[in-house]
Amino acid sequence: MTVSVGSVRAKVWIPLSSHLVSFPIMNDFSERVKQVRKQMEISQEDLAHALGVSFATVNRWENRKAKPSKLARRQFDLYCKTQFKQGRIDDLGKNA
């Protein structure tokens, strides 16, 4: 779960099966998108396709030109959770 509180970074624990996953609270969604793409070594176009949005949308998120809709944000969070479960991304807190 992501919660913004000024510039404070903290961790939120999300239960997955029998273990916990910690994701840092980031007040900057664009940095989180970049971090996930970097860890997965995928393009903006690849991420856009996976989320069902346009390349331009992912580009705007990363360049802080737009914020995701609630639906897009849920899709991104679910995508991250799935990729974590499959071992494709690290605990995001390690690189924050």
**Spatial distance between the Cα atoms of 63 and 29, rounded to a whole number of angstroms:** 10
Query: Given this model, what pLDDT does residue 11 score?
Result: 55
Query: Given this model, what pLDDT does residue 90 score?
Result: 84
Query: Given this model, what pLDDT does residue 94 score?
Result: 42
Domains and CATH numbers, the chain: 28-90 (1.10.260.40)
pTM: 0.67
Q: What string of pLDDT tens digits covers the 96 residues of the chain? A: 444 445 555 555 555 544 544 444 445 899 999 999 999 999 999 999 999 999 999 999 999 999 999 999 999 999 999 999 999 998 654 443
- Pull the structure tokens for residue 94: 């390690």
**Spatial distance between the Cα atoms of 86 and 57, rounded to a whole number of angstroms:** 25
